[in-house]
Chains A and B, each alone.
Chain A
Amino acid sequence: MYSQIYLTKTPYQGQHWRVDMDENNIAWVTIDVKGSSANILSGDVLQELGALLPSLVAADPAGAVFRSGKKSGFIAGADVKEFTQFTTVAQARDRIRAVRPIFMGIEELDFPTVAQISGFCLGGGLELALCCDYRVAEDLPSTKLGLPEVKLGIHPGFGGTVRLPRLVGELTALDLILTGKSLDANRAKKIGLVDWVVPARHLNRTVATLIEKHPTPRKARSLQWLAAAPFIRSTVAYFLKKKLEKKAPKAQYPAPYAVIDMWQDREFIEPWEQYDQEIDSIAKLFVGATAQNLIRLFLQGERMKDLGKGAMIKPQRLHVVGAGVMGGDIAAWCAFNGMTVSLQDTNETMIANTLQRALKLFKIKTRDPHIIQAAMDRLIPDMSGYGVAKADVVLEAIFENLEAKQKLLATMEAKLKPGAILATNTSSIRLEDIAKSLENPDRFVGIHFFNPVSRMPLVEIVVGRDTSQDTVKAGCNFTTAIRRSPLPVKSGPGFLINRILMPYLFEGIKLVAEGSSPEAVDRAAKEFGMPMGPITLVDVVGLDICLSVAKILDTSGKHIVPPLLQTLVDQKHLGKKTGQGFYRYDRGKQGSSQTKARGKLPADGSERMFAALLNETIACLSDWVVEDMDLLDAGVVFGTGFAPFRGGPIHYIAQEGKDAWIAKLEKLKQTHGERFTPHPGWKNLDLSTVNIVEEKDHEKTDFRHNTTMAGKYFMRPVQGAH
């Protein structure tokens, strides 16, 4: 930008906000939160917003424009960290209520106000924009508007549930709030959330024109008010809840139900009371276990993003060897996320298949043909492996064979450019063994993706004995750059996720072998809050793959591969991919189970599966597989889909009581054998640092249905463990 608006004076200049007047007497209110890369509405920032309003009014402007001083976006939302400090309903209520007069103050300014939105405008940021008379969005791909609070187990609290329906209509608003989805600029314009979508070159003029002309601010005009008509409203609410129950049970995810309840009750309360109603409702949610767990997981996810900070190079080029399902999908995903990827395989058909799959994926991800073409152009077939010498990250994803990997990595190591890292996607071979063929094992690391790559948010960064800290950082940085969450784990059989999953899957298979129907086993796991039952998961991953992972883990001693698994593999019933596993599949759709087992689940069935999982979790913790309990919890949730509202396995243990679980294990050991022997780590388990929220306001879990509402983000279906 070579030109700027000519500013005449600055009536307010604070830490995070400033108000400038231009020659047309328009006040430009700029938020630029100090010491943060994104604008976040923390208590301080909000307080300062309240403090600047008198100066703004005193300047007597023709109008005011709220805009961001940061390139990253408008406002990312409220400060989630502060949410974790709420311990009582009253405290939460007071903190949120303090914002109300500030936002009201903006809404009631007697000159026109415009929110100028470039980049993200989420949560509290959108609620602030809703207080303005007009909203103008820049037509950037990064412009996103939404109220994602429900993903954190809460709902909007700064008047969003009140103001949004007035602007876009009752049902449209409910949809946005209940799903937490965000809209791009054009979609937002379509539903009336923004008044104009313009390129950067027209932003200032559009805003100035709006202030000058001052047209009547937009109001919802559709027939959606009908949904809120007397008698109809309660019926609509009933059906909304019914629909919701299929996705997320109330006991596990109370926030969306609270939104509907609030909306239903509005039939009987005055408009100005709606703000108080919203605050009361969110304050209750805040101190609930679900919200606190989801918020904690969100913050851990943010922490993972920072693990790669300070890495030496910004990864731009990736070389992948092995165009199988994993290698190919990794290459495609990385190309879509901006990497220049060379894909090496001796078999050109494998590369061709990858390109075909990639095109299919890109077409699902975007409708913009230019983005698809650019991504396809970045995905370069490279049968001779020329890309190695240029890559920042060289990733091996060939078949699981120690010698082949050793040989391949040694030849590639010789060609690496300075600063590049060498990585393996192995899920079963010890890093230290592979590294034996390398000159510099310090720049060798495991980067372990899960299947399907485009849907699994977690990537294990496997740290071998010789892997340097810089290499780990580079691996994390790479993972973050492709929009995945890196979890550094110690090298060892199964790393973290497969190691924790397997005993649980085996216990599920054992239950089937003992006569429980696969449906019953899966149902129990889903009632616990898993996105997918263990038997279905085994089918999806592939029985053969589970078996091979099982054998790797078995060398470490204590797990016993269920004979049923071996039998099915011998019969070539490998799961979904062969059309038959524990279930039958018709064109990829699950049908009835094909095993003889038809029985009910024994009373301790669910407990057995999760006891196996938790016992292994404690084993991982005492083996120091992951740095700390928080990362362990977040990793297991992101990697396995472990019931997010429970906050992760460690948090779940803390909630249920450590001694209670030890006792359960002892009992299971007596009835079912040594595999339930509590790991010695239980004894030393110190849960004093784990904050547990006491469940008071709602009844304990009424295990009914599964999966999510609260979380595209937190609950991606686990489709694989390889």
Chain B
Amino acid sequence: MNNINKNSSKAKDSPVYVVDGCRTPFLTTRGRANPFSAADLAVAAGRPLLLRQPFLPDAIDEVILGCVIPAPDEVNIARVVSLRLGCDIKTPAWTVQRNCASGMQALDTAVRNIQGGHAGLILAGGVEAMSRAPLQWRPKLVEWLAGWLRARSIKAKLQSLAKLSLKDLRPVITLLKGLTDPSTGLSMGQTAEELAYEFAISRHAMDQYALASQQRLQQAQKDGVFSEEITPLFSPDGAVIKEDQGLHPNSSIEKLAKLKPVFDRPTGLVTAGNSAQITDGACWLLLADEATVKRLNLKPLGKITPASWAGLNPAQMGLGPVHAIDSLLKENNTPFGSVDYWEINEAFAAQVIACTEAMDNQEYCEHELDGRAKPMGRIAPDRLNVDGGAISIGHPVGASGARIVLHLLQLLKRSKTKRGVAAICIGGGQGGAMLAEAV
């Protein structure tokens, strides 16, 4: 670990405070690349966050950023952003990747580094510019190109040209590759179809859930719930983006019902309307230990624990939160009923519904979770994703894990409640969960 611990004070299990946090609005892609690179987004979210702190950016001990697909010119994107934000050149910065939970991984690592005494003040978060995911050449074309470049004479060139097949010119869409489970070959949407089958979730239930997500976001935007969470984005073309673009204000159950299945055609249930939206966005949190909070006279938003991580069958990756929450509650001796609010990332409506069903299912809990003789319990709908989720807000994969933690803390503060859990499912068959507490 780094030795630069300007602010550190070592104590295991000591509280780790979230001082503040800030994110960009999440931008829909609409098939085009947005004008912001991942680094641009992370800078846009980080600048106002650092500006409103009573310390200068060089006070930060470490920068950790989660990102799944940084652009080729953003190698170790955390370092790129750290320098652009004006953090000290001596401040180490590194990028973490745990697929859909990369943002939560960054927070988890930050918490552990602070508790381990390696740092006292860490900037951690997640970012993704999914609209910028590159197109790739097929391996066959790359091979052909090598031959073409070697061919010197006109004859050799012609021979080489004859070998080129038009089929090979089709690009590989890396985003789709990334959204496909490498061990089973199932797309993420297909894993959701699996859960719908397993828990007998109807299309109508999914669409109902998706509509609620949209309506909750619309209400939250109307109430100005995100005023402290979101910073406006200023586009180089002079546009200002102030709110998440995934909102479909005129959404209705009829409209949702009309959509065709995208992953399992023609009889599947998962549509674009009841799935998380492909979006771009960045989210940062500032984490500090107790001594730093006191020394810099900071006003923390709340506390967070290290994340609990769990693995499960990749084909059922959507149930990851159930397993992670199970460990989290056990590790922290937290009764299920003492949790005031839940944020379970909405990869798919079917997946969130399946999670709530599984947690309340005697058979599932008994067989799949260690040492649970009884089901965990049922999360009340008015305690889960109350201000909308990834279906309406969007799911920039690297950023969502940080977003749900930040929003949960804002929610606890707003509702003057004590405890919340943020959980996320992870492509490849994992889940992550974090406990957040108000101070």
With the chains together, A377 CA to B51 CA distance in Å?
A: 12
Interface residue from A342, A373, A377, A381 paired with B234 (Cβ < 8 Å): A381
With the chains together, A374 CA to B84 CA distance in Å?
A: 7
The segment out of B89-97, B235-243, B385-393, B421-429 that lies at the interface is B235-243
With the chains together, A349 CA to B239 CA distance in Å?
A: 8
A352-B238, A352-B240, A377-B43 are contacts. A382–B84 as well, Cβ < 8 Å?
A: no
Interface residue from B54, B84, B86, B239 paired with A352 (Cβ < 8 Å): B239
Contacting pair A386 B236 (CB below 8 A): no
B240 to chain A minimum Cβ distance, whole angstroms, is: 5
Query: B86: nearest residue on chain A (CB-CB)?
Result: A340
Interface residues of chain A: helix, strand, loop or mixed (majority): helix
With the chains together, A351 CA to B47 CA distance in Å?
A: 15
B36-55 interface bits toward A, Cβ cutoff 8 Å, 1 = contact, 0 = none: 00000001000110011010
Interface residue from A356, A377, A380 paired with B236 (Cβ < 8 Å): A356
Contacting pair B48 A377 (CB below 8 A): no
Query: A residues within 8 A CB of B54?
Result: 389
Contacting pair A377 B47 (CB below 8 A): yes
Asked if A53 is an interface residue, CB under 8 A from chain B, the answer is no
Query: A residues within 8 A CB of B373?
Result: none
A340-B86, A348-B242, A389-B54 are contacts. A381–B236 as well, Cβ < 8 Å?
A: no
Query: B residues within 8 A CB of A380?
Result: 47-48, 51
A412 to chain B minimum Cβ distance, whole angstroms, is: 15
Contacting pair A351 B234 (CB below 8 A): yes
Asked if B158 is an interface residue, CB under 8 A from chain A, the answer is no
Question: Which residues of chain B (62-87) have a CB below 8 Å from chain A?
Answer: 84-86
Asked if A684 is an interface residue, CB under 8 A from chain B, the answer is no
With the chains together, A386 CA to B239 CA distance in Å?
A: 22
B431 to chain A minimum Cβ distance, whole angstroms, is: 36
* A interface residue count range (under 10 / 10 to 19 / 20 to 34 / 35 or more): 20 to 34
With the chains together, A1 CA to B54 CA distance in Å?
A: 36
B297 to chain A minimum Cβ distance, whole angstroms, is: 13
B415 to chain A minimum Cβ distance, whole angstroms, is: 23
Question: Which residues of chain A (360-419) have a CB below 8 Å from chain B?
Answer: 373-374, 377-378, 380-384, 386-387, 389-390
With the chains together, A211 CA to B439 CA distance in Å?
A: 72
Contacting pair A384 B234 (CB below 8 A): no
Query: A residues within 8 A CB of B84?
Result: 373-374, 377
Asked if B56 is an interface residue, CB under 8 A from chain A, the answer is yes
Query: B residues within 8 A CB of A383?
Result: 232
Interface residue from A356, A387, A389 paired with B238 (Cβ < 8 Å): A356
B382 to chain A minimum Cβ distance, whole angstroms, is: 32
Identify which of B51, B86, B232, B236 gathers the most chain A CB atoms within 10 Å of its CB: B51
Query: B residues within 8 A CB of A381?
Result: 48, 232, 234
Contacting pair A386 B240 (CB below 8 A): no
Contacting pair B235 A352 (CB below 8 A): yes
Contacting pair A348 B238 (CB below 8 A): no
With the chains together, A373 CA to B40 CA distance in Å?
A: 9
Interface residues of chain B: helix, strand, loop or mixed (majority): loop
With the chains together, A389 CA to B56 CA distance in Å?
A: 11
Interface residue from A352, A353, A386 paired with B51 (Cβ < 8 Å): A386
With the chains together, A348 CA to B236 CA distance in Å?
A: 13
Interface residue from B48, B235, B236, B237 paired with A382 (Cβ < 8 Å): B48
B222-239 interface bits toward A, Cβ cutoff 8 Å, 1 = contact, 0 = none: 000000000010111111
Contacting pair A348 B52 (CB below 8 A): no
With the chains together, A383 CA to B228 CA distance in Å?
A: 12
Asked if A299 is an interface residue, CB under 8 A from chain B, the answer is no
Query: A356: nearest residue on chain B (CB-CB)?
Result: B238
Query: B residues within 8 A CB of A342?
Result: 51
Asked if A359 is an interface residue, CB under 8 A from chain B, the answer is yes
A337-350 interface bits toward B, Cβ cutoff 8 Å, 1 = contact, 0 = none: 00010100000110
Query: B residues within 8 A CB of A386?
Result: 48, 51-52
Query: B residues within 8 A CB of A321?
Result: none
With the chains together, A383 CA to B227 CA distance in Å?
A: 12
Interface residue from B56, B85, B236, B242 paired with A390 (Cβ < 8 Å): B56
Contacting pair B48 A349 (CB below 8 A): no
Query: B residues within 8 A CB of A355?
Result: 234, 236, 238
Contacting pair B86 A349 (CB below 8 A): no
Query: B residues within 8 A CB of A359?
Result: 236
Contacting pair A387 B234 (CB below 8 A): no
B290 to chain A minimum Cβ distance, whole angstroms, is: 24
With the chains together, A340 CA to B238 CA distance in Å?
A: 21
Question: Which residues of chain A (310-343) have a CB below 8 Å from chain B?
Answer: 340, 342
With the chains together, A378 CA to B57 CA distance in Å?
A: 13
B229 to chain A minimum Cβ distance, whole angstroms, is: 14
Query: A377: nearest residue on chain B (CB-CB)?
Result: B84
B152-194 interface bits toward A, Cβ cutoff 8 Å, 1 = contact, 0 = none: 0000000000000000000000000000000000000000000
A597 to chain B minimum Cβ distance, whole angstroms, is: 40
Query: A residues within 8 A CB of B235?
Result: 352
With the chains together, A374 CA to B40 CA distance in Å?
A: 11
Query: A residues within 8 A CB of B237?
Result: 356
Contacting pair A349 B240 (CB below 8 A): yes
Query: A residues within 8 A CB of B236?
Result: 355-356, 359
A363 to chain B minimum Cβ distance, whole angstroms, is: 10
Query: B residues within 8 A CB of A349?
Result: 240
Query: A359: nearest residue on chain B (CB-CB)?
Result: B236
Question: Which residues of chain B (228-261) have a CB below 8 Å from chain A?
Answer: 232, 234-240, 242
With the chains together, A381 CA to B85 CA distance in Å?
A: 13
B112-146 interface bits toward A, Cβ cutoff 8 Å, 1 = contact, 0 = none: 00000000000000000000000000000000000
A494 to chain B minimum Cβ distance, whole angstroms, is: 34
B40 to chain A minimum Cβ distance, whole angstroms, is: 9
Contacting pair B239 A384 (CB below 8 A): no
A526 to chain B minimum Cβ distance, whole angstroms, is: 36
Identify which of A352, A384, A386, A387 gathers the most chain B CB atoms within 10 Å of its CB: A352
Contacting pair B51 A382 (CB below 8 A): yes
Query: A residues within 8 A CB of B86?
Result: 340, 377-378
Query: B residues within 8 A CB of A351?
Result: 234, 240
Contacting pair A390 B51 (CB below 8 A): yes
With the chains together, A374 CA to B83 CA distance in Å?
A: 10
A373-B84, A377-B84, A384-B52 are contacts. A352–B47 as well, Cβ < 8 Å?
A: no
With the chains together, A204 CA to B242 CA distance in Å?
A: 54
Query: A residues within 8 A CB of B238?
Result: 352-353, 355-356
B185 to chain A minimum Cβ distance, whole angstroms, is: 40
B408 to chain A minimum Cβ distance, whole angstroms, is: 23
With the chains together, A342 CA to B86 CA distance in Å?
A: 14
Query: A348: nearest residue on chain B (CB-CB)?
Result: B240
B319 to chain A minimum Cβ distance, whole angstroms, is: 42
A639 to chain B minimum Cβ distance, whole angstroms, is: 31
With the chains together, A373 CA to B73 CA distance in Å?
A: 14
A349 to chain B minimum Cβ distance, whole angstroms, is: 6
B363 to chain A minimum Cβ distance, whole angstroms, is: 52
Query: A residues within 8 A CB of B47?
Result: 377, 380
Identify which of B52, B84, B86 gathers the most chain A CB atoms within 10 Å of its CB: B52
With the chains together, A455 CA to B43 CA distance in Å?
A: 30
Query: A386: nearest residue on chain B (CB-CB)?
Result: B52
Query: A319: nearest residue on chain B (CB-CB)?
Result: B51
Query: B55: nearest residue on chain A (CB-CB)?
Result: A390
Query: Which 6 A-B residue pairings sit nearest by Cβ, starting from the closest?
Result: A386-B52, A356-B238, A348-B240, A386-B51, A352-B240, A380-B47
Q: Chain B: residues with CB nearer than 8 A to chain A?
A: 43, 47-48, 51-52, 54, 56, 84-86, 232, 234-240, 242
Q: Chain A: residues with CB nearer than 8 A to chain B?
A: 340, 342, 348-349, 351-353, 355-356, 359, 373-374, 377-378, 380-384, 386-387, 389-390
| Besides A381-B234, A390-B56, 12 other A-B contacts (C-beta < 8 A) | A342-B51, A348-B242, A351-B234, A351-B240, A355-B234, A355-B238, A381-B48, A381-B232, A383-B232, A384-B52, A387-B51, A389-B54
A-B contact pairs, 22 of them (CB 8 A): A340-B86, A348-B232, A348-B234, A348-B240, A352-B234, A352-B235, A352-B239, A355-B236, A355-B238, A356-B236, A359-B236, A374-B84, A377-B43, A377-B47, A380-B48, A381-B48, A381-B234, A383-B232, A386-B48, A386-B51, A386-B52, A389-B54
